[in-house]
Each structure stands twice: as C-alpha cells, then as structure tokens.
Amino acid sequence: MYLGKCLCGEVSIRLNGSISDIIHCHCSLCRKNSGTAFATNGFINTADFEITSGKSSLSSFSFKPGRSRHFCSQCGSPVYSSNEDDPKRLRIRLGIIDSDIKERPISHNFVSSKANWEVLEADLPHYEGLEPNRK
C-alpha cells in the first residue's frame, strides 16, 4: 500500500496495489506539466486507486481528447492522469507518493526531446540538504 498527498495536503490518495512501468519521461509535455527536466511516471490499476480526501478539490485539464490530467485546484500538484482508451489503468506522478516505493524506473523516455541543459549521466556532487554556498 502506498499513501500520498499533494503539496498543500488537500488531496490525499491511497494505492492498494503495485506501480508498473515506471519511467523518467523527458518529453516537452511532461516538462511543461511538471516544470522540471523530466517527470517520473508509473501506471497503477484504477481499481487499486482511492482518493481518501479532497476529491472536490481536484480539477482536470484535457490536452488531447480522451486524456485528462487531474491536479489539486489549490496548489496545482499533479495527482494522476487518465486515458479513455485505457480505463483500467491510471498514470501517477511518483512525486506525490509519501511512502517508500519498492518498484524502480525501467527507462528514460523521449530523450531526444530532453532539456538541452540536462545531462543524464552527470557526475555531480550529492548533498544531504542545500548546496554549501546556498543560504
């Protein structure tokens, strides 16, 4: 079981199953929707997904017919995406999940449209918090 919530805590979710086909998506649509270099997405069974609070705070946006992105109307956090052509599954942004995730990503996708400033295998320092020169 996985638990999660949006940034403001208004929308809470429970996932009673596993997450499959986790990918780091570098397409321009995921970059724009997340505001980051890539989005980490996985698929879940619709029957395993529950919105435990804040359902009335969900809004949606359809960029393509039959495909909707559902997000918190208070803070804008992406919660999940649905596709009418695949009603038994939902796509979820893994960043909304608070629980430790046991499944792992299987690939980087749409790397030909990745941000020009992103280096996939960068040998960068790692910090426990902010970088040392940031206040």
82's CB contacts (< 8 A; 6+ apart) are: 46, 67, 68, 70, 90, 91
Please calculate the CA angle 67-41-50 and round it to the nearest 5 degrees: 70
First to last CA, the chain: 37
pTM: 0.86
pLDDT in tens, 21-33: 999 999 998 999 8
Cβ–Cβ under 8 Å, residues 30 and 39: yes
Neighbours of 26 (CB within 10 A): 20
What is the average pLDDT across 57-64? 94
CA distance 44 to 20: 6
What is the average pLDDT across 82-95? 96
Q: What per-residue confidence (pLDDT) applies to 91? A: 96
What is the average pLDDT across 100-125? 86
Quickly tell me which residue has 């270099």 as its tokens: 37
Kindly report the average pLDDT of the chain as a whole number. Answer: 92
Domains of the chain are: 2-113 (2.170.150.70)
| DSSP 8-state symbol, 106 | -
